[in-house]
Structure 1
Amino acid sequence: MKNRMQKWSLTIWLLIGLFVFSTTVLASTSVDYSRQMGFGWNLGNTFDGFDQNKQLYEESWGNPRVTRELLQHIKAQGYTSIRLPFSVIDRQDENNVITKDFLARYQEVVDMALEEDFYVIINLHHDSWQWLKYWDGQESSLEFERYKVLWEQLATTFKDYDGRVSFESINEPDFEGGDKHAKLQAVNKVFYHIVRKSGGQNEKRVLIFPTLATNSDQVELDRTAAEILSYQDDNIMATVHYYSEWVHSNNMGMTSFDQVLWGDVTPRTSLLAFYDRLTNTFINQGIGVVIGEYGLLAFDRQSYDGQYANDSGELYKYIELMSAKSIETGIPIMLWDNGQHFQRQGETWYNPWFGEIVTKSMLGRSAYAKGFWKSYITDKTSSYELPMEWNGQKLSDIRFVEQSTGTEYQLQEGNDYSVSAEGIALLPNFVDRIKVGEYGLKGQLFIHCQQGAYWIQNISYANQISLDEVNGTVGEELMIPTTFNGEDGLYASLQNEAGNPVSYNTWWPYLVYLDEWVPKNNQNMIYLPAKMTGLLQDGTYRFILKTYQGTQVVYMLTVSDSQIVGKMVQTDTEIISEETTTEKETSETVELTTPNVDPVPDTNTSEETTNNLKSVTSDSKLSKKFKKAKEQVDKRVQKVKEKADQKIEKVQEKAQKLLEKIQAKQNKLLKR
């Protein structure tokens, strides 16, 4: 009888729980609430868009009208929460009353989102930098009054909505002059009291306070945590945004997810430290936190062939780890999508591989190559090692899709490849099929595991890149004739005679990819835009290019009377590793070129070069010629490293001071 009563009691409580959570969310703390939100998506550049034609509403920035079908497709991807950025800007009258039709249409979409069972964040968005940033800190000022009236209307409109709806005070708040933190706290305070006094469900509704500029530096997190705790209200959450480190996110020569940026910081370690700060500062103090936006800022820049400014494989690793840490910590993440990710009319992902990793990462870990997603087979290659990070996954199959024909076939284990805990070895039977015809991309390997997203590995047949002479004019486009021979440009720099960077970011040594320089493989050229040549004056400059395969080229630009002459510098030494003979040996060709002038300071490259030379030295068959070349290169590498240490130390000091300010401003521009 006792057991029967316990079963009935449990059944009743389960039914009550199902009923309660189907109508309202009774989260005991903001931490519980944040965990319930799960993975989220931003309906960006929609209701936050604005222009002179006030009647366009959500279509003002080019995205189509929101439909229920779109929300259903977003839900089908695995998302359980949605952020609906809302900008008023000029859609209000002289009394700050929001245009009736615009607010009604926004409310209609909120209703649809709830009907599709989303958690919904209502967020006042671009008003932050359009007019609120100019607030002088006086409560009698027009900006403060305007903010109050807007939230009075929003709070009243949605006061009877259930607990799945939360309110975010303002997006990426920043202010011109004065005490910025005091201003933000005043804005949050008036927001809090307006909502709490408006009645209905707003008395207990979850409210979201941003850090200053939604910055995640420890000092900002501490300020916001202390601010929230001072209210003694369990239904207040914090929010920050995360777009990785600026120089990686914008691909300023820092392409790899595991590349050292400065000190011992890589994009990966930065992400891990970011989650640690959120956990220690908020979760461990009983404060919920949501990463209201995440992504990489250069994603919108695409090349002629649809390649993205952010390396697709490194983007995969970033998304995969962001999701894994979200699951581990219970901190919800919300993908920023201004229309560049999910096709709102086609109702699928523009980049299927991006969609694959986003959706599969909501369920668990995925495997990936430890290096870049681009591999190069040369005439010296007999077999090829592809180190893998399996993340607990087991290989299912490998398929190869030929670039020229689109033909797909499955690789045979033991014949085409072997697999181990360390990775995948591509065997001679497969490699020999790549080494035919012209140099270039031969196809893609699709590596499938039993769970998780698939990994793509580009396979190219390559030799060595070569840049030909060119003539041009300062202030005009410069198109350098290039024979890529299957190689791909990784990063580049432009230096003056003193060795200082020539770019629009003189505090950083590398150029912005697909902005300040563009490799155009299908047009056999490297493109420097007019804005870059416009920086040149009479003198000599070094354009230094590094490829994915490891080739480094120095190309001299000589300017006289506004005329440019470009010529590749001859190398002192070229060292190529011997052909591998067994499937366990690496098959990558090491091509080291030492120019007549010092290359861009790059401690990582110098260490890599040293390691490559060590492997060559260990070969007993190494000729005297190569030994002598090694001695020369050793001296040059040491010289480069010494200069690198000096220059990078100076760069770090400048970057530390400028990165935060630059990132806050650039985030707003690139996100649009």
Structure 2
Amino acid sequence: MNSQSIRKPRWRVGVVAGGVAALLVAGTMVTASAQAATGCRVTYAVSSQWSGGFTANVNVTNLGDPINGWNLAWTFSSGQRVTQAWNATVTSSGSQVTAKNVSYNATIATNATVSFGFNGSWTGSSNPAPTSFALNGATCTGNVGPTATPTATGSPSTSPSASPSASPSPQPTDAMATVAAMQPGWNLGNTFDAIPDETSWGNPRTTQALLRHVRSQGYNSIRIPVTWTDHHGSAPDHTIDPTWLNRIREVVDWSLAEGFYVMINLHHDSWQWINTYPSDRTNVTNRYTRLWTQLATTFRSHSSKLVFESINEPQFAGTSDDAQGDELTRELNLAFVRLVRQTGGNNTTRLLVLPTLHTSGEQARMDALSATFNQLNDPNLAATIHFYGWWPFSVNIAGGTRYDTNVEQDITGTFDRAYNTFVSRNIPVIVGEWALLSYDYTRPGIIERGELLKFFEAVGYHARTRKLTTMLWDAGSFLHRPELRWRDQGIYEMMKASLTTRSATASTDQIYVRRTGTIATQSLTLNLNGAAFRGLWQGNTQLANGTDYTVSGNTLTLTSAALTRLVGNRAYGVNATIEARFSQGVPWQVSIVTFDPPTQAGATGTTSSFAIPTQFRGDQLATMEAKYADGSAAGPPNWTSFKEFWSNFQPDYTANTILLKPEFFAEVNDGPVTLTFHFWSGTQLTYRLTKSGSSVTGTT
């Protein structure tokens, strides 16, 4: 598809009023010149019809001299009524209907056509089309007729005609206020986007009880990702399976009934077939437009709290660079806006959400989307990006175990770009997905809990201060859907607090104490984030300032006596949990952990199954390094010695092993490899491997 041809016509909702008075107040045009040749042709088509309602499209072709200002009149024969119109102002008096131009389509050149549409109601057994139309008082016969008598029906229009390249401009709503009201949002992840069906990826069927619970937890919007690939027919119609569509509509309606703003989209279709767009434009375009036309038609009468997102994470195969991908994303976004607006109803001003290429927060991707917004000039649009944090921290690779300046700067940099590119220009931004890539209750320990809490606190604060709306990606890792409870209540409380205030954190949420020997004082640094320290508690018992702890500036120090009491009999693991309380936000919990340095033993195995016997002795694994004898990195990726947690190695605290994955050995050369295991206590263990083909031996 030629990108220049995807230009959306200007769509406005026309004013529908009863009686002739409204027409006189609005003012009409001098409808013909005494010397003007007249003639017109009208095509009236009902594009869709349902019980009690219908949508009609009207094309008016001027066969006579050019017209500047027009009225089209007709009579309904069976009691039909116009309820909403676009591209024209429609008034009615009984069965007589008049459609008048709006400012941008007043001029109709000779042989040119102007189009408008409307939603209507009907009763009885049929909905017949009008049999006759009159343009500016002249009956449209399809031929050029005699000169018409001047018919002045109001003051002349002073509105300029639209230029051929005029951009679309629906009647504005407050998109910024709408998106602000959507904060915070929650994703119904791995559900209707699952392949092929709702429960295929392990989540239960969605219920009204689930939606009611999420709403009760303070969420104001819900994103319902939907993958349509396996739920529509073949070309050319690509008819959506009515059972699937009805199920989506059911959950949408439930969500609206609970008071949510709701966002639906085309989700994994992005990589299943839309990505072939560069090499298969005709088929992809037809499929894409047919799906969105059906969806827009189905939901056009739904509340304006229903929002459409064109496509999730657009991506394209075979492109030369991201600039080409930006252009292809622009084409699809333009086509999406055009076809949704054309379906009428509430879609003429419905909030539509457009992504960057890959839904990336890079400046070049945002600039490309900004140019699309400039071209559309549509006030009812929002931009969307996704945010999963600084990648090394988000997956625990390259030593990214802590919330550090790299993580912080990635948040502020991305959100600043979104604010400066869009929000500062009154274009709202929805962070349609956010979390950390490897946070998953089925893979514990990849991201240490305290470091995770710092990230969640910072995202909430930095998004709030930049007026960004965030929608948490939750595929079951946060909310346990069968029992309607948060898997980690503390994480939820931190996210909730960040919507309105800042919470203080600290340099760590773990204090490690050796199992034997004298217990020394230990300190941690408070990150107050504008709060004031109020004290330490263990449960309902307040610890004594001066005896149990001291505070000097931002340094909190626990005394030897307090730690000795807290560790009790010094069994391995967490012996006590205390919390620092502050003048605002949620408390910061600190675990008091007893440990001894872990130990390991020799082992033999294969590249498909190799486990290192490890006695953790109360400690927890933070990360692992792998190097060859010359100091270069071993295993994937080869640019860092620190390997990816869980993908390359995995601790099993129950089995007392550290498993090295086949994915690690797939990129390890034969010969010796030195592993260094880093534990959260600060302990480091060195372990040596020798790989020979598929055989592996290990020694301490």
Q: TM-score range by the shorter chain?
A: 0.7 to 0.9
1:255 touches 1:490 (CA, 8 Å); kept in 2?
no
2:635 touches 2:666 (CA, 8 Å); kept in 1?
no
Please tell me whether residue 343 in structure 1 is matched to residue 480 in structure 2.
yes
Listed as ranges, the gaps of 5+ residues in structure 1 are 1-25, 52-56, 260-264, 402-407, 569-672
TM-aligned CA deviation for residue 359 of structure 1: 2.0
Please tell me whether residue 84 in structure 1 is matched to residue 235 in structure 2.
no
Please tell me whether residue 151 in structure 1 is matched to residue 292 in structure 2.
yes
Provide the residue aligned with 1:110 in structure 2.
252
2:313 touches 2:357 (CA, 8 Å); kept in 1?
yes
- With over 3 angstroms needed to count, the CA separation of the structure-2 counterparts of 1:486 and 1:67, relative to structure 1, is closer
Provide the residue aligned with 1:442 in structure 2.
575
Structure 2 residue matching 1:58: 3-state secondary structure = coil
- With over 3 angstroms needed to count, the CA separation of the structure-2 counterparts of 1:90 and 1:564, relative to structure 1, is closer
1:296-315, aligned counterparts within 5 Å? 296-300=436-440, 302-303=442-443, 307-315=444-452
TM-aligned CA deviation for residue 135 of structure 1: 1.8
Structure 2 residue matching 1:298: 3-state secondary structure = coil
TM-aligned CA deviation for residue 420 of structure 1: 4.8
Identity %: 32
Residue type matched to 1:464 in 2? Answer: P
- The structure 2 residue matched to 1:545, chosen from 677, 683, 691, is 677
TM-aligned CA deviation for residue 119 of structure 1: 1.4
- The structure 2 residue matched to 1:269, chosen from 386, 389, 409, is 409
- The structure 2 residue matched to 1:477, chosen from 597, 603, 609, is 609
Provide the residue aligned with 1:185 in structure 2.
330
Residue type matched to 1:202 in 2? Answer: N
Provide the residue aligned with 2:513 in structure 1.
377
1:161-310, aligned counterparts within 5 Å? 161-178=302-319, 179-259=324-404, 266-300=406-440, 302-303=442-443, 307-310=444-447
Structure 1 residue matching 2:479: 3-state secondary structure = coil
Distance in 2, matches of 1:564 and 1:256, equals 28
1:51-90, aligned counterparts within 5 Å? 51=196, 57-90=197-230
2:607 touches 2:695 (CA, 8 Å); kept in 1?
no
Distance in 1, matches of 2:595 and 2:228, equals 54
Structure 2 residue matching 1:464: 3-state secondary structure = coil
Provide the residue aligned with 2:28 in structure 1.
none
Distance in 2, matches of 1:563 and 1:86, equals 45
- With over 3 angstroms needed to count, the CA separation of the structure-2 counterparts of 1:59 and 1:538, relative to structure 1, is closer
Distance in 2, matches of 1:493 and 1:514, equals 13
1:377 touches 1:462 (CA, 8 Å); kept in 2?
yes
TM-aligned CA deviation for residue 173 of structure 1: 0.4
Distance in 2, matches of 1:314 and 1:344, equals 25
- With over 3 angstroms needed to count, the CA separation of the structure-2 counterparts of 1:441 and 1:27, relative to structure 1, is farther
Residue type matched to 2:459 in 1? Answer: M
Provide the residue aligned with 1:391 in structure 2.
529
Residue type matched to 1:136 in 2? Answer: P
Residue type matched to 1:112 in 2? Answer: W
Structure 2 residue matching 1:237: 3-state secondary structure = strand
TM-aligned CA deviation for residue 112 of structure 1: 1.6
Structure 2 residue matching 1:507: 3-state secondary structure = coil
Q: Deviations over 1:82-117 (max 9, x none)?
A: 111111111112231111121112112111211211
Please tell me whether residue 500 in structure 1 is matched to residue 642 in structure 2.
no
2:579 touches 2:588 (CA, 8 Å); kept in 1?
yes
TM-aligned CA deviation for residue 328 of structure 1: 0.9
More strand by share: 2
Distance in 2, matches of 1:391 and 1:494, equals 37
- With over 3 angstroms needed to count, the CA separation of the structure-2 counterparts of 1:148 and 1:541, relative to structure 1, is same
- With over 3 angstroms needed to count, the CA separation of the structure-2 counterparts of 1:92 and 1:564, relative to structure 1, is closer
2:419 touches 2:467 (CA, 8 Å); kept in 1?
no
2:605 touches 2:611 (CA, 8 Å); kept in 1?
no
TM-aligned CA deviation for residue 492 of structure 1: 1.0
Distance in 2, matches of 1:62 and 1:376, equals 37
Structure 1 residue matching 2:604: 3-state secondary structure = strand
1:238 touches 1:289 (CA, 8 Å); kept in 2?
yes
Equivalent residue pairs, number: 522
Provide the residue aligned with 1:458 in structure 2.
591
- The structure 1 residue matched to 2:262, chosen from 120, 139, 147, is 120
Larger Rg: 2
Distance in 1, matches of 2:651 and 2:199, equals 34
Structure 1 residue matching 2:231: 3-state secondary structure = coil
- With over 3 angstroms needed to count, the CA separation of the structure-2 counterparts of 1:103 and 1:507, relative to structure 1, is same
Provide the residue aligned with 2:159 in structure 1.
none
Residue type matched to 2:473 in 1? Answer: W
Q: Deviations over 1:369-425 (max 9, x none)?
A: 1x2322212335421112111223344554447xxxxxx865344432234541432
Q: TM-score, normalised by structure 2?
A: 0.70
Please tell me whether residue 99 in structure 1 is matched to residue 231 in structure 2.
no
Distance in 2, matches of 1:516 and 1:448, equals 38
Residue type matched to 2:496 in 1? Answer: T
Residue type matched to 2:331 in 1? Answer: A
Please tell me whether residue 133 in structure 1 is matched to residue 278 in structure 2.
no
TM-aligned CA deviation for residue 247 of structure 1: 1.6
TM-aligned CA deviation for residue 309 of structure 1: 1.5
Q: Deviations over 1:419-477 (max 9, x none)?
A: 45414321222112327444443232233445422322221223433333x13133243
Distance in 2, matches of 1:48 and 1:476, equals 32
1:257 touches 1:314 (CA, 8 Å); kept in 2?
yes
TM-aligned CA deviation for residue 165 of structure 1: 1.7
1:302 touches 1:309 (CA, 8 Å); kept in 2?
no
Listed as ranges, the gaps of 5+ residues in structure 2 are 1-170
- The structure 2 residue matched to 1:31, chosen from 176, 181, 188, is 176
Provide the residue aligned with 2:193 in structure 1.
48
Residue type matched to 1:270 in 2? Answer: D
- With over 3 angstroms needed to count, the CA separation of the structure-2 counterparts of 1:417 and 1:494, relative to structure 1, is same
TM-aligned CA deviation for residue 32 of structure 1: 3.1
Residue type matched to 1:552 in 2? Answer: Q
- With over 3 angstroms needed to count, the CA separation of the structure-2 counterparts of 1:162 and 1:538, relative to structure 1, is closer
- With over 3 angstroms needed to count, the CA separation of the structure-2 counterparts of 1:137 and 1:227, relative to structure 1, is farther
Structure 1 residue matching 2:613: 3-state secondary structure = strand
Residue type matched to 1:192 in 2? Answer: V
Distance in 2, matches of 1:421 and 1:302, equals 39
Q: Deviations over 1:337-382 (max 9, x none)?
A: 112211222111112222221222223111111x232221233542
Distance in 1, matches of 2:200 and 2:665, equals 35
1:424-435, aligned counterparts within 5 Å? 424-433=556-565, 434=567
Structure 2 residue matching 1:284: 3-state secondary structure = helix
- With over 3 angstroms needed to count, the CA separation of the structure-2 counterparts of 1:435 and 1:467, relative to structure 1, is farther
Q: Deviations over 1:570-606 (max 9, x none)?
A: xxxxxxxxxxxxxxxxxxxxxxxxxxxxxxxxxxxxx
- With over 3 angstroms needed to count, the CA separation of the structure-2 counterparts of 1:495 and 1:396, relative to structure 1, is same
